[in-house]
Chains A and B, each alone.
Chain A
Amino acid sequence: MTLLHARGLTYVYPGGIHALSGLDLRIRAGRRLAILGPNGAGKTTLLLHLNGTLRPSSGEVLLGGETAGYSRAALSAWRRRVGLVLQDADDQLFAASVAEDVSFGPLNLGLDEDEAARRVDEALTALRIADLADRPTHMLSFGQKKRVAIAGAVAMRSELLLLDEPTAGLDHHGTKHLLAVLERLEASGTTLVFTTHDVDLAYAFADDVALFDGGAVLAQGAAAEILADEALLKAARLAVPLVLRIGLKARAAGLLRDGEALPRGKADALDLVERLLGEIRPG
């Protein structure tokens, strides 16, 4: 089922920069989508179209099959269904304390105070920042702010959550933990879309990839297919993920067993390499 469909989006920033040119994109329920493109490709601009912040100069966005409107009421309904976490957490935090800040979205949904308080507790616990609940938002580290911003979106339990570079600036541990949180959120029924320029992350975490450059989607499809296409990736100034490349080389050399899947994460790749090393030097 298509949740959101962007059709022929074109957008020119004041000043004449063509950020999107005739872009088509489909977001399907339950399929984790990575919007992959280099710096300046227009990823952030696209996300701002997908929640109605920017209005395309031509083209349209379809929400659950219907053309989305830009009236106050339509936008408010849109943002109930589609959440957005911006690249810079400072753009979304404003309240005196972390817990207060996270309560902002749920209250805007019209929930009563008890339900809102429950959502806040849940979101803070899910992101493991319950101990920061009373901290003022300007007394947090970068990674902590990021988690608070995501908690604010998680507490709204939207159908679709758009995340702009969610792991940028997070350390290894923080990234792993965030992905686990997002997986749990997905299990509770939220479809995830995230932008990144990190091919390894897209390969390890996304079901589908939309390869994006110069304001248009070059290709959209299953992650393993798109990310194996060297020529296509080159056109977007990107390269085949290392883990996938190892898997493809192994397969080309006939080293994979019948029906053995390509390695997906670093751990899989390491297992494969270890197994192959063991076969070379038995005992």
Chain B
Amino acid sequence: MVMSSVGGTRAGTMSPVDRAAHLNRWRHRSLTEKAVLALGMLALAIALPPFPAAPMVAVAMMTAALAGARVPVMVWLACAAGPLGFLLVGALSVIVRIGPGGLGLAPDGLMLAACLMARSMAGVTCLLFLALTTPTTDLIAGMRRLGLPVEIADIALLMYRFVFLLGDTALAMDAAQGARLGHRDSRRRLRSLGILIANLLPRAFERARRMEIGLAARGWNGEMRVLSRRTAISVPGLALVLAAEAAVAVIGVLAS
């Protein structure tokens, strides 16, 4: 129902990650279910022997993100590309060894690289799942419930909000410069960028000052208290998560 009301919204600088986090089908599943799934699977991927547990975790978490929460495949791939590229390079350096006779294969290198890749990929799928199904603000609220000090949670929340405000400002300034031919050649482009960056800081301070006035007008007295809608934990949902994890654990131990 969230998906359907999105048409016609100006999304500003919202990143694809954030958009996915807000608009996926599991947005309103309880944070507990999602966190137990992602962190539990992550723990299994690290603790169990990598084969077959790690590939199982990776497949399970991809399925959860793409088929369960319906995160757009392109967004998932775009987010996974960075860490996976990094992993590949890392794995190569394990396989290849510089010996006396030049480049050669390291003994056990292939096996080691496979283990490394499988575990890391499983880890990436777990964290991506959490990042793409759960908005940052939900995560902050959850950490607050787990005992993160109120002040730190408030600062994190305001920083998050400011990223978007400043991002919008930067985009608008960039567009304004472009409209006045500030990007005509590379020299001018560089100069324009310098001006933009130099102006962003005073604007950030000005924004913060105005936000303080705005919040004070609403009776702010130092604590950012809001009513958050906490979704009740679904017992079948949580049971399913735990069952899946138990299955991975059992198969992971027996089949290794």
Contact = CB atoms under 8 A, between A and B. Distances in A.
Decide whether A and B are members of one complex: yes
A100 interface: yes
A127 to B, nearest CB: 16
Interface in B121-137: 135, 137
A245 B211 CA distance: 41
B20 to A, nearest CB: 12
A108 B225 contact: yes
Interface in B191-245: 207, 210-211, 213-221, 224-229
Interface stretch (B10-18, B51-59, B66-74, B92-100): B10-18
B211 A91 contact: yes
Interface in B1-22: 2, 5, 8-12, 14, 18-19, 22
Contacts of A108: 218-221, 225
B110 interface: no
A191 to B, nearest CB: 16
A120 interface: yes
Given A48-B213, A94-B161, A140-B9, A153 B227 contact: no
A139 B22 contact: yes
Contacts of B14: 138-139
Nearest to A48: B213
Given A88-B210, A139-B22, A141-B9, A96 B217 contact: no
Given A138-B14, A139-B11, A104 B216 contact: no
Nearest to A76: B221
B165 interface: yes
Contacts of A80: 219
Interface residues of A, number: 47
Choose among B8, B214, B226 the residue with the greatest number of A CB atoms under 10 Å from its CB.
B226
Contacts of B137: 95-97, 136
A96 B210 contact: no
A131 B165 CA distance: 23
Given A139-B14, A141-B10, A94 B228 contact: no
B217 A107 contact: no
A53 B213 CA distance: 7
A153 B218 contact: yes
A247 interface: no
Contacts of B161: 93-94, 137-138
A107 B226 contact: yes
A271 interface: no
A147 B225 CA distance: 21
A91 B214 contact: yes
B210 A120 contact: no
A205 to B, nearest CB: 22
Contacts of B225: 104, 107-108
Contacts of B207: 90-91
Interface in A79-112: 79-80, 83-86, 88, 90-97, 99-101, 103-105, 107-109
Contacts of B22: 135-136, 139
A252 B210 CA distance: 49
A134 B210 contact: no
B240 to A, nearest CB: 24
Given A100-B228, A134-B229, A136-B137, A105 B157 contact: no
Contacts of A109: 219
A105 B210 contact: no
A200 to B, nearest CB: 28
20 contacts: A48-B213, A76-B219, A79-B218, A85-B217, A91-B207, A92-B217, A94-B157, A94-B224, A95-B137, A96-B228, A97-B137, A100-B226, A100-B229, A104-B226, A105-B219, A108-B220, A131-B5, A138-B164, A139-B11, A139-B12
Which 7 A-B pairs have CB atoms at the shortest separation, nearest pair first?
A96-B137, A108-B219, A92-B214, A91-B214, A103-B227, A84-B217, A100-B226
